[in-house]
Structure 1
Amino acid sequence: MKKYFGLREAILGVVVAMNSLPASAEQTMSERLGEILEQRADSHLDADFAYKNLELVTLLGELRAHEIRLSTRAVELDAGLNEVLRADSVIVEGEWLGSGHNTLIVDSVTAKDAQLTIAYWDKGQSNLHALYNAANQQAQLQRASQPIIWQIKRAYLDNVVLNLFDQGQPILSVRLASLELPEASVDDTADDYIARLLWPVLEQVLEQAMTGSSDAVVDYGRLTQFIWREIR
């Protein structure tokens, strides 16, 4: 089964929690879902999840959220660089709302008008590493206590700005029409996953720069130093 990092753990946790937690009479299902997302980001990912509004469309099997923010809490980074993902809207589609306790099927996750920031402070250490490691640890604990069958068929960012920082300094900023999130597996390390996400983009930017067609903002000196450090 295909597995995608990022929103997968949040969605998975929400489905399990919604099947097990009682709702108060004053809460709508959407309000309850938003509360669970915030709690799961805090307790499972050591992260902060925020949104302007969130709507659960049960007839269509959709979750729609607007102005979302997902931020880590690395003390080595300032608040701005801890913000891994922001998006004007996120739509989750699938027949997952009626699934059983141990089954989750999502057809697609799409984040539109997004910004993905990868901020390193040392070799193999970044905000995305912190988020991935926390998610992977939680997934391993969950598999041990409650086996779950799940699949996310497609996940991508539409109209996304990818930013790369190292030690607080900007290295790269490029706008992409779309960025499909790579598959993740239980055997992956954070380095494995980020390499599949980041290196193809860097190769594309460098190839375009050589032909003079790149519209990316790049500090080539810092980028070269960063690449040599991370690949050694």
Structure 2
Amino acid sequence: MATSMTYLFLTVFLVAAHTAFAETTMLQDLCVADLKGPKVNGYPCKDPSQITPEDFYFVGIAQAASTSNSSMGSTVTGANVEKIPGLNTMGVSISRIDYSPGGLNPPHLHPRASEAIFVLEGRIFVGFLTTTGKLISKYLNKGDVFVFPRALLHFQQNPNNAPASVIAAFDSQLPGTQVVGPSLFGSNPPIPDELLAKAFGMGPQEIQKVKGKFPPKK
């Protein structure tokens, strides 16, 4: 009886898995993004006759980016569908993050992707928060890999006196990034001061002071 139930479960599982796979498998070789077209859940496909090798190529993460103009001492160079149109519908993208000594990639989340980082140079401190408030953190060295689950708050910091850099891989062609500080204190229109004051246990004047550090988004 148990064997029969096992076979039944496996059969149902395999049929369901095959159905799900069939529904998400592309029916064409590729769909290079037409970046001028309307974006709904991805970009429309470019005319196949207009596809070139450049649609699948990007040189922007070959060299370290300058962090001199970054208030946090870190610079993210994304290689997503907006930089590589050939990534459209593929569900993958990468980025390079460069950190000056003491640089920080502040707490943020990616609503559409999990993230795995590979340390290119230096030593960094990383961590993410679970929905129960547990901090999972670790110091990473050159060659190490660390994974951040989808949509959980996470950060990276370079605590050393030398530059550091990582390569980040995502399971989305356009992961999206929401940074905590600017999202809460620099929203447009702004979140009411009294709401933020109550949420953070601060006075309205303190909230105004914090908001002054995050110009409203346009």
Please give the TM-score of this superposition, normalised by the length of structure 1: 0.24
Structure 1 or 2: larger helix share? 1
Structure 1 or 2: larger strand share? 1
